[in-house]
Amino acid sequence: MIKAVRGTRDLLPPDTALWNFVEATARDVFRAYNFQEIRTPIFEVTELFARGVGEETDIVAKEMYTWEDRGRAESDRGQSLTLRPEATAGIVRAYIEHKLGDRGLNKLYCIGPMFRRERPQKGRYRQFYQIDAEIIGPPSAGSESPARDAEVLEMLATLLDRLGITNWNLQLNSVGTPTDRVQFNEALRAALQPVVGQMCADCQRRAVTNPLRVFDCKVPEDQSVIETLPRITQFLGEDSRKHFEAVQAILAKVGVPFSLNDRLVRGLDYYTRTAFEFTHGALGAQNAILGGGRYDGLSDALGGPAAPGIGFAIGEDRLVMSLQEKTPAESVLRKPDVYVAPMAGMNGDAARLARELRRHELVVELGDDAFRLKKSFEAATKVGAKYILIVGENEVKADAFALKNLATGEQVSIVRANLAAWLRSNRG
């Protein structure tokens, strides 16, 4: 038997109803903040992620699905391509390529699969799904303003509340600008020098190449050393400090609670200033439902115009997991309103009736005239239909149909012209 590849999985009904509920709610909330959808390819040239996400990050150093293209054309052959491990780099690439800034398109969202070769476990997959949104634009559009950071965070709080996820915790930090980080990196290197020998091999490498990434380390033995290291918040310049305070002040004003976490640096190099994560108690070890931050230099780093931005990625797999406890998939699933059961030779008439009902946005399951009545009842019960409707010659002649409620056994006869309206007003 051929099985799904390790770290990938099939999303099956009824769970897919919950996924659709999450996505529909997200689209609805984003709409209210004037975000529009963008769909970028799921693979891009490798260089985009190397430059955008950062060579020294775990994602680029260890986790990407990369291959050399075997295209027919000389120009494609040998090109290094990568399945996207995250969405922001692709969106910023598209922003630059299509000059979206000039067209005033600066609030974008994207929903889709991402790929990382991580060790699979509960809540961590090699193909997983993210709901991603970005505010990006020319500095003249105010995209650098702390008001945008607060708006994005308030939107996320609204979305989680709308989904019925209550016990979330917003953790907030500022990772400063590259200028702020020059001094910080120096201090960090100095602090690491005497202790780095006790740390894991990754940290020993990071200490030389990109010391900030030491804070990404998950090795338990390294944590007590990391606790003693200087924090970025001690090195924020005046502008970054003011920016961070302004974000916090707006959040306080709009009533979005948060806690400060000066160890939060996020595993991607492009972040500047605000960095954040929402965690959820019910998720165990993989408790981050979403993360994001500001990336003021990313567009420049990718060869584009100055376009400060802020965005986030919700881990949809984990969001659905944290929902499942309180919102079983069945509760958002639309079961058939009616099962149309044709008597012998009546498939055509039944199909005609089903067609009429479906035009009225009713969910109709259509049976088969080869089924005996008993089998039709069993099939109707199995799909969870509320009513069963028998289509026989007598019914068609009389232009009236018997509807039986499968749960209560109650039966009513309704003339054809009133059927759809009656079913709509007696929906489950």
> Applying CB under 6 A, which residues contact ligand AMP?
86, 116, 118, 123-125, 128, 130, 267, 288-291, 313, 315, 317-318
Strand duo 168-174 + 259-260: pairing: parallel
Give the residue with the Cβ less far from ligand AMP, 158 or 286.
286
Structural Rg of the chain based on CA atoms: 27
Cα-Cα-Cα-Cα dihedral sign, residues 193, 196, 197, 202: negative
Give the residue with the Cβ less far from ligand AMP, 144 or 316.
316
Least distance (Å) from ligand AMP to the CB of residue 53? 9
Cα-Cα-Cα-Cα dihedral sign, residues 391, 397, 403, 404: negative
Token pair 């955008």 in the structure block, residue: 52
Do residues 276 and 264 lie in contact, with contact meaning Cβ atoms separated by under 8 Å? Answer: yes
- Cβ-count burial 246-282 (b if 16+ within 10 Å, e if not): ebbebbeeeebebeebbebbbbbbbbbbbbbbbbbee
Mapped onto helix, strand or coil, the DSSP state of residue 149 is: helix
Give the residue with the Cβ less far from ligand AMP, 290 or 423.
290
How far apart are the C-alpha atoms of 52 and 55, rounded to whole Å? 9
Least distance (Å) from ligand AMP to the CB of residue 12? 18
Give the residue with the Cβ less far from ligand AMP, 49 or 244.
49
Least distance (Å) from ligand AMP to the CB of residue 127? 8
Give the residue with the Cβ less far from ligand AMP, 118 or 262.
118
Chain-centre distance for alpha carbon 112: 7
Task: Kindly state the tokens that stand for 213.
Answer: 């990434």
Do residues 215 and 185 lie in contact, with contact meaning Cβ atoms separated by under 8 Å? Answer: no
Give the residue with the Cβ less far from ligand AMP, 127 or 426.
127
Do residues 321 and 155 lie in contact, with contact meaning Cβ atoms separated by under 8 Å? Answer: no
Give the residue with the Cβ less far from ligand AMP, 79 or 127.
127
How far apart are the C-alpha atoms of 68 and 25, rounded to whole Å? 39
Q: What residue is closest to ligand AMP based on CB?
A: 315
How far apart are the C-alpha atoms of 243 and 281, rounded to whole Å? 29
How far apart are the C-alpha atoms of 82 and 48, rounded to whole Å? 9
Give the residue with the Cβ less far from ligand AMP, 52 or 291.
291
Least distance (Å) from ligand AMP to the CB of residue 280? 9
Give the residue with the Cβ less far from ligand AMP, 86 or 151.
86
Amino acid identity of 146?
P
Angle, alpha carbons 270-275-250 (nearest 5°): 130
